[in-house]
Homo-oligomer: A and B are copies of this chain.
């Protein structure tokens, strides 16, 4: 990789360089990069906006995360928030803070990942900001999406007896992170160490290159199912489910045996001597969808591969309950990943 100091291009040069061959794909994108603001047109649809800030040393570690994957993930986690409203992501703005150790080629790598995600999900890059940073890399992405007025799904619509559903499986991204951190520590201590990741590809991909569940949103739309509440699982199932319950003023009852977990996740949790259910409940970064649907729709989601009914909504006074495999009732607690704690 050749190395071009970013200061040789300057801010405007860098922006031009990164955006010169961007092509917009969405009719709602009237004007993208290159003016004081992007211009969007949503006609009679409603506009969704979400934003995420990712900081080096807090949210990612470049010792084991490739810049291209990082860019991909930074974009996808925003798309996931728009899908979690039952909407479709359409545009993003990308702001970067860049310290001196990064070259133009580094930022191209990062940006190529963002662009790859945008191409796959049909999203336009319409603006942003770049700046020097004193330490490390800063990525702030804002995503704008659209939705039909009567199909937007909030967190506060869950009703007593609704079914609680989860897409995909949980805990894999967290175990992928544990594995990467362990191998990174060993690599520092043991000269010439090469990690062997065979048989662990799935949990690594879940951590390094997660996808947003557009397929689930499309499936629900095809089936005419509008969930009563929905969130994406970024901070762990427990934390997100409690958000939905609090905002909907309801309780919940979920069953340990129904929580979807991949085989690789289970193997890795055992290797790390971690409680698998704790991993699945609190791991975070799954970017699966957690949603509730009326009980009457049970048959329409019961035999699907990628949606699992894990429990049901209850009256608020019943609290947040986890029913274990041995039929013990435990209180569900939000132990989600907290980036403001140590």
Binding site for B on A (CB under 8 A): 6-7, 9-11, 14, 30-31, 34-44, 46-59, 81-82, 84-85, 87, 91, 93, 95-98, 126-136, 138, 140, 142-145, 147, 149, 152, 154-156, 230-232, 247, 338-342
Which residues of chain B are within 8 angstroms of A7 by Cβ–Cβ distance?
340-342
Q: How far is the CA of A143 from the CA of B7 in the complex (A)?
A: 28
A334 to B, closest residue via Cβ: B12
Q: B10, B44, B46: which contacts A340 (Cβ < 8 A)?
A: B10
A230 to B, closest residue via Cβ: B36
Q: Are B82 and A147 in contact (CB under 8 A)?
A: no
Q: Are B47 and A39 in contact (CB under 8 A)?
A: yes
List 10 A-B pairs, minimum CB-CB distance, nearest first. Answer: A140-B140, A37-B50, A53-B95, A40-B47, A36-B84, A142-B142, A36-B81, A37-B48, A57-B134, A51-B93
Can you list 18 residue pairs at the A/B interface with Cβ under 8 Å? A7-B340, A10-B341, A34-B155, A35-B156, A36-B82, A38-B48, A38-B49, A38-B50, A39-B47, A40-B47, A41-B149, A42-B47, A49-B142, A52-B129, A53-B131, A58-B97, A95-B140, A131-B339
Q: Are A131 and B39 in contact (CB under 8 A)?
A: no
Q: How far is the CA of A96 from the CA of B138 in the complex (A)?
A: 11
Q: How far is the CA of A49 from the CA of B319 in the complex (A)?
A: 41
Which residues of chain B are within 8 angstroms of A149 by Cβ–Cβ distance?
41
Q: Are A93 and B49 in contact (CB under 8 A)?
A: yes
Which residues of chain B are within 8 angstroms of A129 by Cβ–Cβ distance?
51-53
Task: Give the shortest distance, in Å, between A341 (CB) and chain B (any CB).
Answer: 5
Known: A59-B131, A129-B53, A340-B98. A145 touches B48 (CB 8 A): no
Q: Are B51 and A340 in contact (CB under 8 A)?
A: no
Which residues of chain B are within 8 angstroms of A95 by Cβ–Cβ distance?
51-53, 140
Known: A58-B132, A97-B138. A40 touches B34 (CB 8 A): no
Q: Are B131 and A34 in contact (CB under 8 A)?
A: no
Which residues of chain B are within 8 angstroms of A127 by Cβ–Cβ distance?
49-51
Known: A35-B156, A40-B49, A47-B47. 18 other contacts (CB 8 A): A10-B341, A36-B81, A36-B155, A36-B231, A37-B87, A37-B143, A39-B48, A41-B149, A49-B93, A50-B127, A51-B129, A54-B131, A55-B132, A55-B134, A58-B132, A58-B133, A132-B340, A135-B136
Which residues of chain B are within 8 angstroms of A84 by Cβ–Cβ distance?
36-37
Which residues of chain B are within 8 angstroms of A97 by Cβ–Cβ distance?
53, 55, 58, 138
Task: Give the shortest distance, in Å, between A84 (CB) and chain B (any CB).
Answer: 4
Which residues of chain B are within 8 angstroms of A14 by Cβ–Cβ distance?
340
Q: Are A6 and B37 in contact (CB under 8 A)?
A: no
Q: How far is the CA of A59 from the CA of B134 in the complex (A)?
A: 11
Which residues of chain B are within 8 angstroms of A40 by Cβ–Cβ distance?
46-49
Known: A36-B232, A340-B11. A138 touches B53 (CB 8 A): yes
